[in-house]
């Protein structure tokens, strides 16, 4: 049997989804999270591999459906006991609402937002009335999270995972409406397109899709009460973002919807750079750097204003580099367990084969509760030159000579400080490298041997050769992220 390439499968999925969404007169599919494929990533794409499964397709779809039904029943039971008030009855009028994300307990009470940095605080200091509304990715209750910021200059409100019974039932009924509408359209028009339709219908009642509707409904109430001039939200192309835009625009109270692309564009980016009906598109898109601005302008045909807001993760680039005597490798996994395990195991093999180098693994914030787990695994292996980092990212970057990564955007911060990148590329996989627009692929590796060879060649370089190589990468990163420029957003707010 011929093995389909990842490139072919990604192309088939995106073209099929594009066709279905274009012909979806009721725009039902915009609310299905599965139908908004963000970009190619092996973790994301697992959800689409079923389309190409040769045998037992309907069996796997049926099992998925039954799983979602069980989760819906549990959610409805939970909603019966829901008594918290999420109607925001006592909210004052606002100028700006920022929609951000709460991803781990270590962020509790921090003034700096993980995605927007000091931006909310600076707006507040300029007498702009602002609230941050958090999409909660943890099991910590909204009340506990909100209390931690009671003394903050910028109030936080947190979306609920579950609404009261009546509202929860409304969310679920909406999901089933999309389910039946899509399911009844399946026919024999094509092998791939019908499989995609089957999956879209089932995914309409998935936790991700129902949560998108749930979140959008809560924000609709919040905006209706507070009547801000602007709402600004992280913009990656998820279903919840599209639903938020539509519901806010339908209020007809003159709220400007601003999508913020907080990082650079990735290879095989899709949902966020796809143009849809105006009711689902932001009024303005703000990006972190000029490179991303060019990509969005090209793909959206200049139909939406694109502004460079910059990023709080942009650090001052270094022009003078000290030669580090030892090889020190910082491993930067993404916030997926599969990716963390992949780089963790690679790091163990590397540390075991090269005992004269030092390795730190910096877990993604969403994996922070796994520190003890990975630390214990290292102890079991009795390898002393590899550790799980508990330091700040700034400390880790200053410590490092090289950084091993795959899809982590933290590599931009590291490279901007003169740390040399090493990208772990798997065979038969589309690249997920944030530095993909750099034509040089000499830093790509597929084995521990490749890494050792790169490092041996590095140690043979003179200080002048090292500095030249570092400067080349630093210059490349300067266009990817710009320093945060609050004036860009203030100009939009005040217009």
The residues, ordered by sequence, that sit 6+ positions from 151 with a Cβ below 8 Å of its Cβ are none
What value does the mean pLDDT take over residues 67-93?
85
State the Rg of the chain over Cα. 24
3-state secondary structure string across 271-324: HHHCCCCHHHCCCEEEECCHHHHHHHHHHCCCCCCEEECCECCCCCCCCCCCCC
Q: What is the pLDDT of residues 463-481, one digit of tens each?
A: 889 999 999 999 898 888 8
The residues, ordered by sequence, that sit 6+ positions from 319 with a Cβ below 8 Å of its Cβ are 471, 474
The residues, ordered by sequence, that sit 6+ positions from 339 with a Cβ below 8 Å of its Cβ are 43, 333, 406, 407
Q: What is the pLDDT of residues 9-30, one digit of tens each?
A: 999 999 999 999 999 988 999 9
Beta bridge partner(s), residue 258: 232, 284
With H, G, I as helix, E, B as strand and everything else as coil, classify residue 485.
Answer: coil
Percent of the chain with pLDDT over 70: 95
What value does the mean pLDDT take over residues 3-11?
87
Cβ of 331: how many Cβ atoms within 10 Å? 29
H-helix or E-strand spanning residue 367: none
What confidence score (pLDDT) does residue 86 get? 63
Q: Which domains does the chain have, with CATH numbers?
A: 6-81+164-281 (no CATH), 96-158 (no CATH), 328-478 (3.40.50.2000)
**What is the C-alpha to C-alpha distance for residues 44 and 425, in angstroms, rounded to an integer?**
17
Whether the Cβ atoms of residue 245 and residue 27 lie closer than 8 Å to each other: no
Beta strands, E only, 153-207: 155-158
What confidence score (pLDDT) does residue 343 get? 98
What confidence score (pLDDT) does residue 1 get? 40
Residue 385's Cβ-count burial label (10 Å; 0-12, 13-18, 19+) is middle
3-state secondary structure string across 17-67: HHHHHHCCCCCHHHHCHHHCCCECCHHHHHHHHHHHCCCCHHHHHHHHHHH
Distances (CA, A) of 175 to 25, 31, 164, 320, 456: 17, 9, 17, 57, 56
**What is the C-alpha to C-alpha distance for residues 296 and 294, in angstroms, rounded to an integer?**
6
What confidence score (pLDDT) does residue 94 get? 95
Using the predicted structure, report yes or no on whether residue 186 has a pLDDT greater than 70: no
What value does the mean pLDDT take over residues 179-191?
79
Tell me, what DSSP letter sits at residue 91? P
Using the predicted structure, report yes or no on whether residue 315 has a pLDDT greater than 80: no
**What is the C-alpha to C-alpha distance for residues 443 and 425, in angstroms, rounded to an integer?**
10
Of the chain, the end-to-end C-alpha distance in Å amounts to 60
Using the predicted structure, report yes or no on whether residue 117 has a pLDDT greater than 90: yes
**Average pLDDT over the chain, rounded to whole?**
92
Whether the Cβ atoms of residue 154 and residue 132 lie closer than 8 Å to each other: yes
Of 188 and 383, which is predicted with more confidence? 383
With H, G, I as helix, E, B as strand and everything else as coil, classify residue 87.
Answer: coil
What value does the mean pLDDT take over residues 444-455?
96
Whether the Cβ atoms of residue 474 and residue 317 lie closer than 8 Å to each other: yes
What value does the mean pLDDT take over residues 321-345?
89
Q: Residues 232-268, buried b or exposed e (16+ Cβ, 10 A)?
A: bbbbbbbbbbbbbbbbbbeeeeebbbbbbbbbbbbbb
Using the predicted structure, report yes or no on whether residue 247 has a pLDDT greater than 90: yes
**What is the C-alpha to C-alpha distance for residues 120 and 145, in angstroms, rounded to an integer?**
17
What confidence score (pLDDT) does residue 355 get? 87
**What is the C-alpha to C-alpha distance for residues 39 and 237, in angstroms, rounded to an integer?**
9
Cα–chain-centroid distance for residue 21?
23
Tell me, what DSSP letter sits at residue 447? S
Q: What's the half-sphere exposure (Cβ side, CA atoms, 13 Å) at 347?
A: 33
**What is the C-alpha to C-alpha distance for residues 53 and 362, in angstroms, rounded to an integer?**
36
What value does the mean pLDDT take over residues 94-100?
97
């Amino acid at each position: 049997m011929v093995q389909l390439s990842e490139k072919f499968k990604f192309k088939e999925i995106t073209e099929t989804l594009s066709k279905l969404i274009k012909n979806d007169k009721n725009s039902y599919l915009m609310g299905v999270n599965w139908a908004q494929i963000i970009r190619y990533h092996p973790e994301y794409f697992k959800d689409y591999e079923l389309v190409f499964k040769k045998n037992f397709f309907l069996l796997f779809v049926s099992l998925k459906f039954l799983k979602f039904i069980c989760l819906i029943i549990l959610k409805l039971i939970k909603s019966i006991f829901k008594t918290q008030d999420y109607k925001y009855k006592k909210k004052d009028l606002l100028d700006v609402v920022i929609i951000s994300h709460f991803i781990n307990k270590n962020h509790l009470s921090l003034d700096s937002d993980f995605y927007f940095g000091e931006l909310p605080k600076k707006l507040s200091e300029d007498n702009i009335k602002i609230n941050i509304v958090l999409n909660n990715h943890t099991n910590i209750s909204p009340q506990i999270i909100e209390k931690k910021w009671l003394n903050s200059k910028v109030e936080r409100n947190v979306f609920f995972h579950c609404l009261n019974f009546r509202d929860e039932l409304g969310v679920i009924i909406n999901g089933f409406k999309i389910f039946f509408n899509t399911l009844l359209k399946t026919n024999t028009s094509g092998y791939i397109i019908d499989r995609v339709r089957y999956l879209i219908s089932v995914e309409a009642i998935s936790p991700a899709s129902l949560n998108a509707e749930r979140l959008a409904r809560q924000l609709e109430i919040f905006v209706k009460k507070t009547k801000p001039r602007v709402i600004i939200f992280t913009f990656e192309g998820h279903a919840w973002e599209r639903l938020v835009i539509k519901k806010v625009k339908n209020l007809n109270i003159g709220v400007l919807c601003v999508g913020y692309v907080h990082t650079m564009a990735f290879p095989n980016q899709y949902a966020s750079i796809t143009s849809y009906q105006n009711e689902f598109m932001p009024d303005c898109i703000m990006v972190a750097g000029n490179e991303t601005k060019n990509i969005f302008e090209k793909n959206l045909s200049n139909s939406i204003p694109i502004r460079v807001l910059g990023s709080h993760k942009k650090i001052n680039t270094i022009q003078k580099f000290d030669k580090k005597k030892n090889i020190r490798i910082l491993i930067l996994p993404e916030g997926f367990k599969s990716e963390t395990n992949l780089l963790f195991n690679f790091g163990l093999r590397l540390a075991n084969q090269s005992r004269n180098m030092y390795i730190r693994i910096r877990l993604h914030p969403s994996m922070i509760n796994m520190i003890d787990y990975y630390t214990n695994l290292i102890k079991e292996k009795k390898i002393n030159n590899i550790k799980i980092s508990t330091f700040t990212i700034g400390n880790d970057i200053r410590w490092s000579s090289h950084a091993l990564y795959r899809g982590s955007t933290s590599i931009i911060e590291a490279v901007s400080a003169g740390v040399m990148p090493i990208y772990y590329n798997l065979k038969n996989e589309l690249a997920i490298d944030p530095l993909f627009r750099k034509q040089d692929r000499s830093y790509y590796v597929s084995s521990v041997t490749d890494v050792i060879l790169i490092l041996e060649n590095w140690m043979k370089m003179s200080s002048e050769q090292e500095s030249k190589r570092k400067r080349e990468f630093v210059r490349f990163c300067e266009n990817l992220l710009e320093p945060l420029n609050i004036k860009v957003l203030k100009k939009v707010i005040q217009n």
